[in-house]
Amino acid sequence: MAAEISELARQRFRGGPTTVEVDVVPAGIGARVRAERELRGAAPLGCVLAREEDCMDALRAGADEAVVVTAADDRVIHTLIDRVLLRASLRRSSERLSASIGHAEKLAALGTLVAGVAHEINNPLAAVALSANALEYSLDSLVYAREELERLADLGRPVQPEELRHAVRTVKASAPKWGVRRAVEDITGGVEQITDVVRDLRVFARVDEEAQPEMVDVGDLVDQVLRIVRREIEQTAVLERDIPKDLPALVVPRTRLAQVLTNVLVNAAHAVREIDRPVHRVSISARADDEALALVVSDTGPGIAADDVDRIFDPFYTTKRQDLGTGLGLSISRSILRRLGGDMMVDSVHGEGAKFLLMIPLPDPHALRGAGVIGVSKPPRADDRLAVLVVEPDEVMVRAYGRAIGSHHDVIIASDGEEAIELLESGTNADVIVAELGLPQFGGRGLYDWLDRERPALARRTLFVTSDHPGNPQQRKLEERGAQVLSKPLSRDTLLVAIERAYER
C-alpha cells in the first residue's frame, strides 16, 4: 500500500513545492511519530494504520491525522492528504495564536508591575544623575586650576613664591570635598542595577515560540523574577525565599519558566490584598529528588473556594477583579509546565490561603551535556546575601523583621521552634537564625538544644532576641554555652551587623 500512496501523492503534487514521503513502520507507532515530529518540526504528518487504537496513539504522539485503511483507494488517500494538510495548517495557526495569547498575558502581568519596575530603575538613575552632576561641577573647577598652572608655565620666567602659593590655593580649592572615586563607583553601580532590571525585563519581550531549552540555575531564575515582582509583593506581605543552593540544574526554556513563576507570584500578591490579616506572607521554596524539582508558591490570602478549585486552570476563568487579570495566567502556566513534562497543582483551604506546586522533571545526563546557555543569563547571587530564618511568634515583629532584613537578606519565617525544626529537617538552608528567646512550647533553649545536637555549625550562627532584663536564668545559661543574645529594643543597623558577625563565626 505504501507504493500506491507514494504514486498518488507524486501525481497530485507533480511540479509543486509539496512532497510526500511514505515509510512503513511495523510496530511502535507512537515512538516513531514522536521521533518524526522532533525531526521534521512543524511539517504535516499523517498516518495510515490498520487498527483504531494505533490511530489514537499516533494522534497523541503528534500526528496531524491518522486513519485506518485496509485497501488502497484513490479517494480515501486523497482525502487523507487533504485532512493532513488542513489539520497541519490549523495546528500551526493554533500554535501561533497560543504564543500570541501567552505573550499578551506576559504583558498583562508586566502592566501590574510597572510601578515597582519604575522604582527599581528610578532609584539608581537618581543616584547616577546626582553623582554625574557633582562630577560635572567639579570638572569646571579642575579645568580652571589646570589653566592657571599652564599660565604659570608659559610665563617664560621663574615663578614667584606668591604666584606659586596662589596656584596651590587654586588647586586645593578646585578639589571636590567628596571622593571622586566613590562617585564614579556609585555611577557604575547604578548603571549595573539598571542594566540588571532591563535584562530581567527581556522575559516579557519574547514570544514563546522563540524560547529554546537551556541550562537553568533555579536560584538565579527565582532571583531574576523576584527582582521584578518583589515590590508588588512587599507592599502587602512579607516575602520568604527558601531556595537551597545545591539544587540540580534544569534544561528548560528559561523565559517560559520565568513566565510561570511571574504569573503565580503576581497571583499571590493580588490574593493577599483581598483579606485583612495582622501580617501576610508570600513564600517561594524549592525541593528536588532524583526525578523532579518542585517549586512551591504559597500565600496567606483568602484561598480558593471548593467550587472554584476544579475550574481554577480553565481558560478565562478568574476569581479576581476584572482589572487584575485576564483569567489566562494559570491556564497558560499549567500548559507550559505540561509541555515541559511537568504539571501544576493547587492545594487550598478556603479562608486560610493557597499553595501552588510546580513540578518540573529533571533532565537526563545527555540533555545536560547538550544544553547551552542561551538568552538571558544572570550573574550569580551576591555572596553577601544570606538566608535568615526568623523564629518569631509575634506577627507585628515578623513584619518588622521583614522590613529590616528583607532588603539585605532572604527571610524565611517560622512561628515557633517546632516549625523551625520542621523547616530545617525538610531541607531549608539557613545561614543565620534570629529567634525570640521566649518561644512558646519548648522555648529558645529547646531550639538551641536541638541545633547544638543536630546542626552545631548553625547553632553557633544563631541569634536570640529578648525583651527580658539582662542576666535572666535562661539567657545566662545560653550565653554560658556560647549562644548570642541581643536585647530589645535594637536598631536595624545593630541587627544587620549582628547577622553578619554571626555568619562569620
48-88 tens-digit pLDDT: 776 777 888 888 888 888 877 766 667 777 777 788 888 88
pLDDT digits (tens, 9 = 90+) for 415-431: 888 889 988 988 888 99
C-alpha cell at 53: 487504537
SS3 103: helix
Q: What integer pLDDT is reported at residue 97 of this predicted model?
A: 67
The continuous run of DSSP H or E covering 370 comes out as helix 365-370
Q: What integer pLDDT is reported at residue 469 of this predicted model?
A: 67
Nearest residue to 67 (alpha-carbon basis) of 39, 48, 84, 51 = 48
Average pLDDT over residues 339-343: 87
Average pLDDT over residues 379-385: 53
Q: What integer pLDDT is reported at residue 368 of this predicted model?
A: 60
Phi and psi based region of residue 327 (left: phi greater than 0; alpha: psi -120 to 50; beta: remaining) = left
C-alpha cell at 388: 535568615
Q: What angle do CA 426, 284, 262 make, to 5 degrees?
A: 155
Q: In the 8-state DSSP scheme, what is residue 333? A: H
Residue 379 pLDDT greater than 50, yes or no: no
Instruction: Check residues 266 and 307 and name the one with the higher pLDDT.
Output: 266
Name residue, grid cell 507585628: 396
> Going by C-beta distance under 8 Å and a sequence separation of 6 or more, which residues neighbour residue 341?
360, 361
Residue 22 pLDDT greater than 60, yes or no: no
Q: What integer pLDDT is reported at residue 103 of this predicted model?
A: 58
Task: Give the separation between CA 57 and CA 218, rounded to whole angstroms.
Answer: 34
Task: Give the separation between CA 451 and CA 460, rounded to whole angstroms.
Answer: 9
Q: Which CATH class is domain 382-505?
A: alpha beta
Confidence tier at 376 by pLDDT (50, 70, 90): very low
Rg (CA), the chain: 32
Could you tell me if 329 and 317 are in contact, meaning their C-beta atoms sit under 8 angstroms apart?
no
Q: Give residue 344's identity as a one-letter amino acid code.
A: M
48 vs 11, 43, 75, 85, 245, CA distance in Å? 19, 17, 14, 14, 51
How many CA atoms lie less than 13 Å away from 335 in the CB half-sphere? 14
List phi, psi (to 5°) of 414: -130, 140
Q: What integer pLDDT is reported at residue 120 of this predicted model?
A: 67
For helices 180-201 and 218-234, what crossing angle results, to 10°?
100
Q: What is the mean pLDDT of the chain?
A: 78
Q: Give residue 15's identity as a one-letter amino acid code.
A: G
Strand 387-391: give its sheet, edge to edge: 343-349, 353-361, 292-299, 280-288, 237-242, 410-414, 387-391, 432-436, 462-466, 484-487
Task: Provide the strand spans (E) within 191-291.
Answer: 213-216, 237-242, 250-253, 280-288
Q: What integer pLDDT is reported at residue 207 of this predicted model?
A: 47
SS3 22: coil
Domain boundaries, the chain: 2-72, 113-199, 211-376, 382-505
Could you tell me if 102 and 171 are in contact, meaning their C-beta atoms sit under 8 angstroms apart?
no
Q: In the 8-state DSSP scheme, what is residue 468? A: S
Residue 294 pLDDT greater than 90, yes or no: yes
**pTM of the predicted model over 0.85:** no
Confidence tier at 380 by pLDDT (50, 70, 90): very low
Q: What angle do CA 183, 186, 187 make, to 5 degrees?
A: 90
Confidence tier at 206 by pLDDT (50, 70, 90): low
Q: What angle do CA 341, 345, 349 make, to 5 degrees?
A: 175
Residue 375 pLDDT greater than 50, yes or no: no
Instruction: Check residues 343 and 91 and name the one with the higher pLDDT.
Output: 343
Name residue, grid cell 621663574: 158
Q: What integer pLDDT is reported at residue 378 of this predicted model?
A: 40
pLDDT digits (tens, 9 = 90+) for 94-133: 767 666 665 556 655 555 566 556 666 777 788 788 778 7
Q: What integer pLDDT is reported at residue 61 of this predicted model?
A: 80
Average pLDDT over residues 442-449: 84
C-alpha cell at 255: 523565559
Percent residues over pLDDT 90 in the chain: 11
Per-position b or e across 439-449, b if 16+ CB within 10 A of its CB? beeebbbebbb
Average pLDDT over residues 140-168: 76
> Going by C-beta distance under 8 Å and a sequence separation of 6 or more, which residues neighbour residue 458?
424, 430, 433, 451
Percent residues over pLDDT 70 in the chain: 75
Task: Specify which residues 288 forms β-bridges with.
Answer: 293
Q: What integer pLDDT is reported at residue 3 of this predicted model?
A: 64
pLDDT digits (tens, 9 = 90+) for 299-336: 999 988 887 777 777 765 566 555 555 556 787 788 88
Q: What integer pLDDT is reported at residue 74 of this predicted model?
A: 73
Task: Give the separation between CA 226 and CA 475, rounded to whole angstroms.
Answer: 38
Task: Give the separation between CA 222 and CA 216, rounded to whole angstroms.
Answer: 10
Q: Going by CATH, does the domain composed of 211-376 fall within 3.40.1110.10?
A: no
Q: Is 181 exposed, middle or buried (0-12, 13-18, 19+ CB in 10 A)?
A: exposed
